[in-house]
Amino acid sequence: MTALTGTRAPTPVVRAGRRRPAARAAAWVRAHRRALVWLSPVLAVGAVVNLVNLGGAPQRIDDEGTYTAQAWAVTNLGELAHYTYWYDHPPLGWLQLAAYTELTGAFARWDVAVLAAREAVVVASLIATVLLWVLARRVGLSRPAAAATGLIFLVSPLALQFHRTVYLDNVAVPWLLLAFVLATNRNRQLAAFAGSAVAFGVAVLSKETFLLALPVLVWVMLRASHRETRRYTLSVAASLLVLIGGSYLLLAAVKGELFSGADRVSLMDGIVFQLSSRAGSGSLTDPDSLLNRTLGMWWQLDQVFIVLGLLSAVAALFLRRLRPYAALVLGLALFMLRPGGYVPVPYVIALLPFGALLIAGVAGDAVARLRARGATGAGPRTGPSRSSRRARSWRSRCGAPSCAASCSRTSTGRCARPRHGSRRTCPVTSAWSWTTPCGWTWCGPAGTAGTSSGTTSSTPTRRSAPSLPTAGAISTT
Amino acid sequence: MTTPFIVRHSDSPPGPLLTPEPVPAGAPTDVPNRGLDTGLLDATRDGTAFDWSAVAGYSALVLLALGLTVVAATTLWWMLYAWRSKGTLESTGFSRTPHAPTSTFTLLVPGRHEEEVLGQTLDTLAAQTHPHVQIIAIVGDDDPGTEAVAREAAARHPDRVQVVVDDSVPKNKPKALNRALPFATGDVVGVFDAEDEVHPDLLRHIDSRFTETGAVVVQGGVQLMNFRTSWWSLRNVLEYYFWFRSRLHFHAGANFIPLGGNTVFVRRDALERNHGWDAECLAEDCELGVRLSSQGAKVVVAYSPDYVTREETPGSLKSLYKQRTRWNQGFLQVLRKGEWRALPTRSQRTFARYLLAMPFLQAATGLLIPLSVCLILFAKVPTVVALLTFVPLAPTLVTLAVEVAGLGEFGRLYGEKVRARDYARLILGTVPFQVFLALAALRAVFREARGTRNWEKTEHTGAHRETGTEAVSPAPEAARQQVAA
């Protein structure tokens, strides 16, 4: 669990072998106390804001009823859906909802079944916040910036509207974040990349649109991978991902529903429907198009987040460590506007964590830059400013010249990269060293991979569930 | 309210926040089974319809599948040990510049009907750059051809090579080694096979490894080279690659290691204390490793493609079959002999038991995967059970992907071009090779049960030496010339 800060404990790691659990927990808390001080208020505020008036707003919609009923059918009927499961979405999303409601007895706690599922997705968002913190620390954000990331992610009006709505996207987000966290591991990469592939597979099988993040995940993984072990770490990750995807095909094959046939549903029919049968969302130029109504709803909810998110995504393209996530946000945004495409209303959910990350990351970088300038340009002082002090202490801790403003190039033409995986990252300095010609940059192949737009050409788009007469009507008393 | 794109109703107050509805979706009209199936609920709630025998069958199937998954997954994980992290990979090699030599070495080279290859092997060993090397060639008293070759080599290198004649009946490798052990004078005793191709600097690195680690045993890498000879030789080569490159390091770390048959170096005092090798065991190398591990001896493994000992696969599928039978039977004997019971902790003992039974578990994996596929195809089972029976396939397929990656790396490291045909052979050979391994394991069980314990020798002809008897791989050749110069 050293992953909470994304780095190792500053104290020497003691082998926890035979110590009592209580002592181990105490040591863990001591080692991560600063992370806990920053993160727990964020989680507390987020939990309160997201759980208060859970049933009152927003208005319940048919999708919520569908997914809740399907989750109910899993545990109560032993079936994947209350009607015939027709491969509209992969079932892992509501299987997880079912697991949550079964394990916590959520259906018995609420008199409206949908609220049990709402509770489950809020919990998923809180888990996602912890993972987002780890990811933010991994990419070099300071603790305050990482806390701000979590806060934006949890209390932005867009988040407030969507995090409590029973959308499968909410279930998939923690898995996607976990995939990114594991893909940026510097140690034990074989296990980490295998885990990343599995987490991403779960995300995609929870909500198929998350497949759009694959190019960026591959980019992040390639960039983090050690050259010596890459051949194996990437083969294992790739094969696991293919296997998990294959398990969905296997499900259909075992049920005898792989190809379309008379009088039965099939996976093929489901995919054909999602990809080609549905009407597009219309165009931006048509004021009454579904696309414009969807965008209008998002805009009405949170203009600040949308504007800042897009602006910081553009700015973050110039910051090496945030670049993949900027590409992800911009890529998803552009994909949304493709002509004739269908944009589901919850599409924005996948963008929320990364938008929050970019806003806080770019702001943190700007602050660090201003402070650094203030420290160097303010003339003689009695003592070093806080930021320069911190930067210097990072420099000494990292023990690598590239952490300093003057980046030394090695004979191979690459910048020596601080061994941030081995001990700890240098949050402030890393942000601050983006100002240097190559800072943390590995001016090698990884840096050149930055052309990925984060999109794929053919991806199943999401459709809201078929309008079922009894959607949302199943409740327990 | 304004959107960034369209201005509309700019004067009116914000409207209610409504989730936009898509155009009424054209849901498929031919979806059957709409409406709640009342039979469904009844079936789940009807206790009398509960079929216990079916549940027992399903549970057995699921347990079998999970067991197979565990076997396949642990095998895969151990096979990948060296690449777990960058640090692990770095720890598996020799240090770049060896320490100055501190130990003296005795190399034992048993040869039996191997006059074609023994002479050259002894020459290579005599050309070691380590200053203190004694080489003992061991030949049988009923094998004049090999003895003549050994004597010629001794005449060429009088200061280094000696010949010991083994007169035991019946003959086997551990007896030959034990026969020569009293003549050994070095601090460290190493074993090589008659067909081995050894790097001239190997002993210096091994010596350095002893100095750095204070180990009792150092196991060097062995690599089969002739992956193009046949479909099974390709698989056999990869087995060796993963075993010595990765898996053995895992065993060394776990303090329980079945040693390899050659390029293995043991401190002489430890050998003498243990009265040498077990002459009755068919896998004397494994047995020695288990015995030393159980005594808590420190075993170190080092692999570097440059200093690896090159060998050839057995000449035919039949002799590979016999060799594999012998190894499996040897593992069984070690399991029965029970030296591993001396291991200090329960988890180590469990591990030892699991490991020594591994050839049989693997054989079972190979045989039961087709069985479970058949079950799924022909037996009517619930969807979940059917899906679970496929789980063992996952680690197997990942293993295949890793093998493909390993073949590519093997080709790059040893300068051999790996063609598309080789990859195809690798993939197509998976199932036949599993069946082959399973048959060898079954034969070993039969032989052990019937008490047949004679030694089936593997013949070698020098297929890994590129042209006849003269050519050796470029690296050792060049190095030897440097030594001569």
- B134-182 pLDDT, tens digit per residue, is 999 999 999 999 999 999 999 999 999 999 999 988 888 999 999 999 9
Q: What pLDDT score does B258 carry? A: 87
If you average pLDDT over every residue of chain B, what do you get? Answer: 84
Q: What does the pLDDT read at residue A52? A: 93
> Cα dihedral sign for B285, B288, B293, B296?
negative
Burial class (CB in 10 A: 0-12, 13-18, 19+), B37: middle
Q: Considering only residues 209 to 238 of chain A, which have any Cβ-Cβ distance to chain B shorter than 8 Å?
A: 226, 228-229, 231-233, 235-236, 238
Q: Are A251 and B83 inside 8 Å of each other by CB?
A: no
Sheet (strand B133-140) strand order: B161-166, B133-140, B105-111, B188-191, B264-267, B217-220, B299-302
What is the model's pLDDT at position B457?
A: 65
Q: Are B228 and B340 in contact (CB under 8 A)?
A: no
pLDDT at A355: 97
The continuous run of DSSP H or E covering A34 comes out as helix A33-51
Please name the residue ranges forming H helices in A277-350: 290-301, 303-316, 323-336
User: What is the reported pLDDT for A148?
Assistant: 97
pLDDT number for residue B202: 94
CA dihedral B369, B370, B375, B381 (to 10 degrees): 40
Q: Chain A, 337-356: which have a CB under 8 Å from a chain B CB? A: 342, 345
Q: Cβ of A299 and B3 within 8 Å? A: yes
Angle at A263 between CA A262 and CA A266, to 5 degrees: 80
Q: Give the count of beta carbons closer than 10 Å to the beta carbon of residue B431.
A: 13
Round to whole Å and give the CA distance between B369 and A385: 67
* pLDDT number for residue B11: 59
Instruction: For residue A193, give the chain B residue with the closest CA.
Output: B84
pLDDT of B12 strictly over 80: no
Whether residue B351 has pLDDT greater than 60:
yes
List beta partners, residue A226. none
CA distance B112 to A342: 75
Question: When comparing pLDDT for A377 and B9, which is higher?
Answer: A377
CB pairs under 8 A between A and B: 146
pLDDT digits (tens, 9 = 90+) for B51-61: 788 888 888 88
Within 13 A of A444's CA, how many CA atoms are on the CB side?
17
Q: Is A33 helix (H, G, I), strand (E, B) or coil?
A: helix
pLDDT above 80 (res B371): no
Walk along chain A (477 residues) and give the pLDDT tens digit of each residue.
334 444 444 444 444 445 688 999 999 999 999 999 999 999 999 999 999 999 988 889 999 999 999 999 999 998 899 888 989 899 999 999 999 999 999 999 999 999 999 999 999 999 999 999 999 999 999 999 999 999 999 999 999 999 999 999 999 999 999 999 999 999 999 999 999 999 999 999 999 999 999 999 999 999 999 999 999 999 999 999 999 999 999 999 888 888 888 888 899 888 888 877 777 788 888 888 888 889 999 999 999 999 999 999 999 999 999 999 999 999 999 998 888 788 888 999 999 999 999 999 999 999 999 999 988 765 444 444 444 444 444 433 333 333 333 333 333 334 444 444 333 443 433 433 333 333 333 333 333 333 333 333 333 333 333 333 333 333 332
Cβ within 8 Å, pair B22-A292 = no
Residues in chain B, total: 485
DSSP A40-96: HHHHHHHHHHHHTTTTTSS---HHHHHHHHHHHHHHHTSSSSSS---SSS-THHHHH
Chain B CB contacts of A189 under 8 Å are 84-86
**Stretch B220-224: mean pLDDT:** 94
More confident residue, B367 or B403: B403
Best A72, A190, A345 member to test B by mutation, with max B CBs in 10 Å, is A190
Q: Parse chain B into domains and list their residue ranges.
A: 78-359+462-475
> Minimal Cα–Cα distance from A356 to chain B, Å?
20
Q: Which B residues in the span 40-99 are in contact with A, Cβ-Cβ below 8 Å?
A: 40-41, 44, 80, 83-87, 89-90
Question: Could you tell me which CATH class the domain B78-359+462-475 is placed in?
Answer: alpha beta
CB contact under 8 A, B32 and A228: no
User: Are B36 and A290 in contact (CB < 8 Å)?
Assistant: no
Instruction: With beta carbons less than 8 A apart as the criterion, state whether A291 and A352 touch.
Output: no
pLDDT > 90? residue B385:
no
DSSP 3-state of B229? coil
Contact B409 A231 (CB under 8 A): yes
CA angle A177, A178, A181 (to 5 degrees): 90
Strand partners, B161: B135
Q: Is the dihedral of CA B56, B60, B61, B66 positive or negative?
A: positive
> What pLDDT, on the 0 to 100 scale, is given for residue A441?
35
